[in-house]
């Protein structure tokens, strides 16, 4: 029995059934969707003992022919190894909890059944990425994830802002997917296969040296497979930028917060944005041979981490703060991969999924209670919403990396990695700043903006209107489960062993291995110092009033405005679209409407009409005239032949 197919089949069947009529009944739809996700979770979990027992070599795979051409047969299959398994557990586990949360959060919404249908569709798409055994299958599910994300962001389709956000997310992802597809095709061209296992087996130094073509004559530049691979790697990185919202394609994620909060938690914190990081780990072998590609991945990650953290310090929308925090954490993961630590990245991805999903659910709970997203209108919610407060607080501590919570192990693993960075990341001054200095600053900023958010939301005097209340159990229960996971996931198994597990599933054998961090005084002190620095600043500014935030704002001046306006990236894109693209479009419109339609198409039509008008005079309706004309024609033919 090929049970892994069930993991894909459950959500797919659920989505189809809900789409094809079951949506009439809200209860059945929700039950079906929940059953599908937990069913997938159960199937996944049943493989866990086998995976632990066999370790790195454990792999299950199966496929069927999907479309055969003369030269290549496209297959659809699954590749279930330790990496996929851990990702599946995260996706189905966190996803399942969020499904339960949504039962409470979406209660009474008229699109309740539709929402669960979309969630199932999303689960199917996402699980397909995780299980895919080849590039084309990943691409199909990549796009499916894009579609379901579009549907979920635009769930409140009556709201124009939600529609715009959905469009923005979709279009931004299209930009990335364009490069992604070209990257897939280049890799496919070089390897002659799209299957990951076959690609990995083919990747040898001899293979890398095979020349593909020659540029500039015999003396010129020989383009080998090695070049092909890092070009393909960079193009694939574009897809990752889109899905994982890395700079410069990050602009959609903050806007995507227009969707319902469970969606933000599921898609834009725990799973979909992690797909890009997961993909990077999956195809890490493509990057490994090229220092250039690795450097670019690391720089992109390091910059995004810092860049997003600075923006998060100047936002007031609770979900946007979390969104930029997500960007920043994803940057950390990408950075870790670029520095040769995909295992650390996976570890952080897992931990991040737990505490960030919990934070989003907490934010959703708060929003549900006070009906605003603005943290300036909250405050003092600690007493009214104790469960939400404690889960939120613990997740914040985990995110900031307070030992011994999960974030400490993975985040400090990444920081440790930056301090022992490979040569390619430290040789160049500029690169060294991006990959080693900024991440540490980012850690301080993380503590600052998270504590700022917590203080403004839960401490101090209530600034809002109405009466905040604790959320129902369907909403608090998933939060509690998630926070337990967030606290323990780093340390329930001893950290060293847990790192060992992640290394066995995600780390190629020949990559440089770094030492797992020890739970020693210096690391703990280091981490605590960072947190205290950030948290202390937030506490001083927003709780005690020791520092007046407005004065800081004034002192920082343009820098603060830069952060507040998200480094003007959106404005830049807007300018590109309105002034360059629009004018180009106008030129195209002129060519199309005036030259092609006006002259060519309408010209042809006009010529035909004029000819017709001329000839139609001879259609008199008189039989006699026709016979006469016909006779003249026959006579002419006869005369010509004589």
User: Candidates 239-247, 376-384, 555-563, 613-621 — which segment interacts with another protein by CB under 8 A?
Assistant: 613-621
Nearest CB to another protein, comparing residues 1 and 615: 615
Q: Which two tokens stand for residue 36?
A: 């599908």
Interacting residue with another protein among 218, 423, 429, 623 (CB under 8 A): 623
To which residue do tokens 């590749």 refer? 79
Q: Does the protein bind another protein through residue 218 (CB under 8 A)?
A: no
Stretch that binds another protein, among 125-133, 174-182, 559-567, 624-632 (CB under 8 A): 624-632
Considering CB under 8 A, how many residues would be counted as binding another protein? 17
- In this structure, the dihedral spanned by the alpha carbons of residues 224, 226, 231 and 235, taken in order and rounded to 10 degrees, is 130
Q: How far apart are CA 330 and CA 319, in angstroms?
A: 16
| Residue with tokens 């129902």, as numbered in its chain | 472
* Binder among 552, 577, 620, 633 for another protein (CB under 8 A): 620
Contact stretch for another protein (CB under 8 A) within 72-80, 303-311, 466-474, 618-626: 618-626
Q: Which stretch binds another protein (CB under 8 A): 71-79, 209-217, 347-355, 611-619?
A: 611-619
Q: Give the C-alpha separation, 507 to 83, whole Å.
A: 10
| Minimum CB–partner distance for residue 1 and another protein (Å) | 59
The stretch near another protein (CB under 8 A) out of 318-326, 350-358, 485-493, 633-641 is 633-641
Q: How many whole angstroms separate alpha carbon 536 and alpha carbon 528?
A: 11
Computed on alpha carbons and rounded to an integer, the radius of gyration of the chain in Å comes to 29
User: Does residue number 608 form part of the binding site for another protein (CB under 8 A)?
Assistant: no
C-alpha–C-alpha distance, residues 233 and 252, integer Å = 23
Q: Does 619 bind another protein (CB under 8 A)?
A: yes
- Give the x/- contact pattern for another protein in 423-442, rule: CB under 8 A: --------------------
Query: Closest Cα partner for 306 from 291, 285, 280, 327?
Result: 327
* Residue 603 CB, nearest approach to another protein (Å): 23
Alpha-carbon torsion (586, 180, 319, 159), positive or negative: positive
* Least Cβ distance, residue 636 to another protein (angstroms): 10
Residue 429 or 614: the one with the smaller Cβ distance to another protein is 614
Assess 576 for contact with another protein (CB under 8 A): no
The b/e string for 542-575 (b: 16+ C-beta within 10 A; e otherwise) is beeeeeeeeeeeeeeeeebeebeebbebeeebee
The answer to whether residue 628 forms part of the interface with another protein (CB under 8 A) is yes
- Residue 53, both tokens: 């027992």
621 binds another protein (CB under 8 A): yes
Least spacing, CB of residue 608 vs another protein, in Å: 14
Contact call for residue 622 and another protein (CB under 8 A) = yes
- Specify the stretch interacting with another protein by CB under 8 A; choose among 60-68, 395-403, 571-579, 616-624: 616-624
Under rule CB under 8 A, residue 627 binds another protein: yes
**Which one, of 414, 158, 186, 139, lies nearest residue 293 by Cα?**
186
Using alpha carbons only, give the angle 356, 310, 423 rounded to the nearest 5 degrees.
Answer: 90
Residue 616 binds to another protein (criterion: CB under 8 A): yes
Query: Counting contacts by CB under 8 A, is residue 634 touching another protein?
Result: yes
Nearest to another protein of 160, 633 (CB atom): 633
Binding segment (CB under 8 A) for another protein, from list 403-411, 456-464, 474-482, 626-634: 626-634
Smaller CB distance to another protein: residue 544 or 617?
A: 617
Nearer to another protein, 461 or 622 (CB): 622
- Interaction between residue 624 and another protein (CB under 8 A): yes
Residue among 559, 606, 632, 633 that touches another protein (CB under 8 A): 632
- Phi, psi angles (nearest 5°) of residue 272: -60, -45
Nearer residue to another protein within complex by CB, 602 or 620? 620
- CB closer to another protein, 556 vs 632: 632
Part in contact with another protein (CB under 8 A); list of ranges 392-400, 500-508, 586-594, 628-636: 628-636
Residue 237: how many CA atoms within 13 Å on its side-chain side?
27
614: contact with another protein by CB under 8 A: no
The nearest distance, CB 601 to another protein, in angstroms, is 24
Phi, psi for 514 (deg, rounded to 5): -105, 160
Q: Which residue lies nearer to another protein by CB, 215 or 614?
A: 614
Spell out the residues 6+ positions from residue 96 whose beta carbon is closer than 8 angstroms to its own: 34, 37, 38, 41
Of 349-357, 394-402, 429-437, 629-637: span binding another protein (CB under 8 A): 629-637
**Which runs of consecutive H residues, i.e. helices, occur in 371-518?**
381-384, 386-400, 406-419, 423-426, 429-432, 438-458, 473-488, 495-506
Half-sphere exposure of 29 (CA within 13 A, CB side): 25
Residue closest to 39 by CA, chosen among 106, 149, 124, 146 = 124
Q: How far is CA 85 from CA 37, 45, 50, 329, 399, in A?
A: 15, 8, 11, 22, 24
Q: Return d(Cα 542, Cα 352) in angstroms, integer.
A: 26
The sign of the torsion formed by the CA atoms of 579, 581, 582, 585 equals: positive
**Residue written as tokens 């090929």?**
2
Do 258 and 153 touch, CB atoms closer than 8 A? yes
Among residues 221 and 626, whose Cβ is nearest to another protein? 626
Q: Measured from the CB of residue 604, what is the shortest distance to another protein in angstroms? A: 21
* Closest to another protein by CB, 520 or 619: 619
Closer to another protein by CB, 27 or 617: give it. 617
- Compare residues 204 and 619 and give the one whose CB is closer to another protein: 619
Query: In the bound complex, what is the minimum distance in angstroms from residue 111's beta carbon to another protein?
Result: 54
Residues that bind another protein (CB under 8 A): 616-617, 619-624, 627-628, 631-632, 634-635, 638-639, 642
């Amino acid at each position: 029995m090929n049970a892994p197919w069930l993991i894909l089949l459950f959500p797919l069947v659920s989505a189809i059934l809900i789409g094809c009529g079951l949506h009439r009944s809200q209860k059945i739809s929700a039950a079906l969707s929940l059953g599908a996700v937990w069913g997938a979770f159960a199937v996944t979990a049943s493989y866990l003992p086998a995976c632990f027992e066999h370790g790195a070599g454990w792999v299950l795979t199966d496929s069927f022919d999907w479309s055969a051409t003369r030269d290549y047969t496209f297959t659809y299959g699954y590749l279930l190894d330790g990496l996929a398994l851990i990702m599946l557990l995260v996706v189905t586990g966190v996803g399942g909890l969020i499904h339960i949360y949504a039962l409470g959060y979406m209660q009474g919404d008229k699109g309740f059944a539709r929402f669960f249908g979309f969630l199932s569709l999303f689960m199917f798409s996402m699980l397909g990425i995780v299980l895919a055994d080849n590039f084309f299958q990943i691409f199909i599910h990549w796009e499916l994830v894009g579609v379901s994300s579009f549907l979920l962001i635009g769930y409140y389709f009556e709201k124009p802002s939600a529609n715009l956000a959905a469009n923005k997310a979709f279009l931004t992802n299209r930009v990335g997917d364009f490069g992604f597809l070209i990257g897939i095709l280049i890799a496919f061209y070089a390897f002659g296969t799209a299957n990951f296992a076959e690609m990995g087996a083919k990747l040898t130094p001899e293979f890398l040296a095979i020349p593909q073509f020659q540029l500039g004559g015999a003396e010129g530049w020989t383009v080998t497979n090695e070049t092909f691979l890092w070009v393909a790697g960079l193009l694939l990185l574009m897809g990752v930028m889109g899905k994982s919202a890395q700079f410069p394609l990050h602009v959609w994620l903050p806007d995507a917060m227009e969707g319902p909060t469970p969606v933000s938690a599921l898609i834009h914190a725990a799973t979909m944005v992690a797909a890009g990081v997961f993909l990077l780990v999956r195809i890490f072998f493509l990057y490994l041979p090229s220092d250039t590609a690795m450097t670019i991945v690391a720089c992109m990650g390091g910059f995004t981490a810092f860049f997003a953290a600075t923006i998060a310090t100047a936002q007031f929308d609770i979900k946007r703060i979390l969104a930029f925090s997500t960007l920043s954490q994803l940057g950390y993961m990408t950075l870790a991969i670029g520095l040769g630590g995909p295992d650390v990245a996976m570890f952080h991805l897992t931990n991040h999924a737990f505490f960030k999903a919990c934070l989003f659910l907490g934010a959703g709970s708060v929003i549900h209670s006070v009906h605003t997203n603005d943290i300036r209108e909250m405050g003092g919610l600690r007493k009214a919403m104790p469960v939400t407060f404690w889960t939120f607080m613990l997740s914040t501590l985990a995110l900031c990396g307070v030992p011994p919570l999960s974030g400490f192990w993975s985040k400090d693993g990444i920081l440790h990695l930056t301090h022992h960075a490979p040569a390619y990341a430290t040789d160049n001054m500029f690169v060294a700043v991006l990959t080693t200095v900024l991440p540490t600053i980012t850690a301080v900023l993380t503590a600052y903006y998270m504590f700022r958010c917590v203080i403004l939301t839960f401490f101090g005097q209530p600034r809002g209107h109405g009466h905040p209340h604790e959320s129902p159990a369907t909403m608090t229960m998933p939060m509690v489960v998630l926070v337990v996971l967030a606290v323990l996931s780093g340390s329930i198994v001893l950290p060293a062993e847990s790192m060992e597990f992640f290394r066995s599933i995600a780390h190629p054998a020949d990559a440089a291995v770094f030492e797992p961090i020890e739970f020693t005084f210096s690391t703990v002190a280091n981490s605590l110092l960072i947190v205290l620095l950030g948290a202390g600043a937030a506490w001083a500014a927003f709780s005690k009033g020791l520092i007046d935030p407005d004065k800081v704002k004034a002192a920082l001046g343009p820098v603060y405005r830069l952060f507040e306006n998200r480094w003007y990236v959106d404005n830049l894109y807007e300018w590109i679209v309105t002034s360059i693209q629009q004018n180009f479009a106008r030129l195209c419109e002129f060519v199309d409407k005036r030259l092609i339609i006006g002259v060519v198409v309408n010209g042809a039509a006009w010529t035909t009409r004029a000819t017709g008008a001329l000839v139609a005079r001879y259609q008199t309706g008189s039989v006699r005239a026709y016979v006469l004309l016909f006779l003249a024609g026959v006579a002419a033919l006869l005369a010509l032949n004589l």
